[in-house]
């Protein structure tokens, strides 16, 4: 290189000037660009043509790259000792476990995860605004995260649901981390796909995910329901969008012999609580001849299952009049007699107290309230809420009655939930015995390495 410079009299290129230190400095038109000039000096057949050009011609023939566009093998370096969970294949990497971020990755980009000793640990999505800074795509160093990766994973995940298709035409096909696709939820309602992108990584690969769904389910309509609060923690805005096809106002599904109309465009979650399929079947089996109260009924899932199981009468209680109106349509869809079901719109906490004062009783009560726990800071308040509603319900149960009580709060541990129900029974002066523990349906699996995936817990309690 020095010889080449000598042959050209060590002349500066047009537009360059010597710096006080004797080196070459970038002119104004090159400021902020990554430009390895020594590479040009190294080749004799390049330098003469460059010297013959002015700065204006030079910029027209060379495509510059600005430094913020350069992405060089982005990596997360883990704090020493904090790699143990990754070695156990837990898919979350909290920000406190990250010692260094290398390569300036953008939100959602795939990064390699390395230990302090340089050991490769995983390949993850990067989320700089979340406390969970990385979510693992793969623990296989040979697996590349690209369109083929999502095609392969989605196909595998859907294939694992074959055993559940006989009980319903509405299933969860992808359950986020437990199916190796963090941040991606996919439910299928009889030819209508509804998906949610909950994390920066899932959002980053949105185009590949949508393309895969179009390829694997060419006849299905596709709706995006990325309208959940958790996206804000990832720095993402809410979004609801029809991606493909025509989305009906309601989709008709069937489950264990009962029919339901589901409003996928504006209903809770993706339109229906698919995770309660097994628990609805349990209520159906216990409902024969009983007077049933379904609290927080939404569109009537548990109550309709009870009617399907031969309940004498069902009261559907919810704070949403539109949800109760759909519950009535579901009653008619199944051919249940109009007098077999009543709908009551109001606050469950207040109404259960009022009915207790009036001496009203039931043989079977279902409590499936919304999530009371959003964070650890709200856990104590949530415990009080769960105890209060269970206390109110236990006071309304006839001797020998059944209480089906649930918590969908992931931060509510099983043991704590049982203690809350036990304390409520004590205050109500009732004795209860757990005869079944209930959890989310099998199409909402829980990875052995990811216990956080077990969010839904329920108890069937026989009350004396």
Beta bridge partners of 136: 124
Supply φ then ψ for residue 98, to 5 degrees: -100, 120
Strand ranges of the sheet holding 239-244, from the earlier edge strand across to the other edge: 170-175, 184-189, 192-197, 221-226, 239-244
Distance of CA 236 to the CA centre of its chain: 13
Contact 439, 458 (CB under 8 A): yes
CA 80, CA 424: separation in Å to the nearest integer?
Answer: 45
Which residue from 203, 187, 264, 214 is spatially nearest to 238, judged by alpha carbons? 203
**From CA 324, how far away is CA 317, in angstroms rounded?**
8
Residue 18 burial (10 A CB sphere; 0-12, 13-18, 19+): exposed
H/E run at residue 393: helix 379-396
Distance CA 253, CA 55 (A): 68
Cβ burial of 123 (10 Å; 0-12, 13-18, 19+) is buried
Helix axes 348-358, 379-396, angle to 10 degrees: 30
Task: Give CA–CA dist 196/189, Å, rounded.
Answer: 14
Q: How far apart are CA 273 and CA 283, in angstroms?
A: 15
Pick the catalytic residue: 295, 383, 392, 408? 408
> What secondary structure does DSSP assign to 294-361, as a single string?
EET-TTTHHHHHHHHTT-SEEEEEES-HHHHHHHHHHHHHTT--GGGEEEEES-HHHHHHHHHHHT--
Give me 248's structure tokens: 């009906």
Q: Is 25 a catalytic residue?
A: no
Query: Where do we find the tokens 């989709």?
Result: 251
Distance CA 121, CA 136 (A): 10
CA pair distance 327, 321, nearest whole angstrom: 10
Closest CA to 74 of 129, 126, 15: 126
Q: Which residues are catalytic?
A: 408
């Amino acid at each position: 290189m020095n010889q080449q410079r000598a042959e050209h009299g060590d002349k500066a290129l047009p537009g360059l000037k010597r710096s006080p230190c004797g080196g070459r400095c970038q002119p104004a038109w090159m400021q902020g660009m990554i430009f390895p000039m020594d590479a040009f000096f190294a080749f004799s057949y390049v330098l003469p043509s460059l010297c013959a050009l002015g700065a204006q011609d030079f910029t027209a023939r060379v495509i510059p790259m600005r430094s913020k566009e350069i992405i060089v093998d982005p990596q997360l370096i883990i704090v020493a000792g904090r790699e143990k969970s990754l070695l156990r294949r837990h898919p979350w990497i909290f920000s406190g476990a990250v010692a260094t971020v290398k390569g300036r990755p953008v939100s959602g980009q795939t990064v390699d995860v390395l230990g302090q000793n340089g050991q490769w640990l995983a390949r993850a999505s990067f989320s700089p605004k979340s406390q969970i800074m990385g979510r693992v795509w793969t623990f296989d160093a040979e697996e590349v995260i690209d369109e083929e990766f999502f095609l392969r994973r989605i196909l595998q995940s859907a294939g694992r649901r074959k055993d559940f298709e006989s009980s319903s035409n509405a299933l969860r096909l992808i359950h986020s981390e437990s199916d190796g696709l963090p941040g991606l939820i996919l439910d299928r309602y009889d030819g209508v796909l509804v998906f949610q992108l909950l994390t920066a990584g899932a959002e980053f690969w949105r185009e590949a995910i949508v393309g895969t769904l179009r390829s694997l389910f060419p006849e299905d309509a596709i709706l995006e329901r990325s309208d959940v609060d958790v996206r804000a923690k990832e720095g993402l805005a809410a979004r609801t969008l029809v991606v493909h096809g025509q989305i009906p106002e309601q989709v008709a599904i069937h489950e264990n012999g009962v029919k339901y109309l589901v409003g996928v465009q504006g209903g809770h979650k993706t339109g229906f609580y698919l995770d309660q399929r097994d628990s609805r079947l349990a209520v159906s089996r216990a409902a024969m001849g009983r007077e049933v109260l379904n609290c927080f009924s939404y569109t009537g899932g548990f109550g309709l299952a009870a009617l399907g199981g031969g309940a004498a009468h069902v009261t559907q209680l919810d704070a949403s009049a539109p949800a109760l109106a759909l519950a009535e349509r579901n009653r008619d869809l199944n051919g249940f007699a109009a007098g077999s079901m009543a709908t009551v719109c109001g606050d469950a906490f207040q109404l259960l107290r009022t009915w207790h004062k009036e001496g009203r009783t039931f043989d079977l009560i279902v409590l499936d309230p919304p999530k009371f726990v959003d964070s650890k800071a709200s856990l104590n308040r949530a415990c009080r809420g769960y105890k209060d509603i269970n206390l109110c319900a236990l006071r309304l149960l006839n001797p020998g009655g059944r209480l089906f009580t649930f918590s969908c709060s992931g931060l509510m541990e099983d043991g704590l939930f049982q203690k809350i129900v036990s304390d409520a029974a004590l205050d109500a002066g009732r004795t209860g015995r757990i005869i079944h523990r209930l959890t989310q349906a099998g199409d909402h699996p829980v990875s052995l390495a990811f216990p956080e995936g077990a969010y839904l817990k329920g108890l069937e309690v026989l009350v004396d």
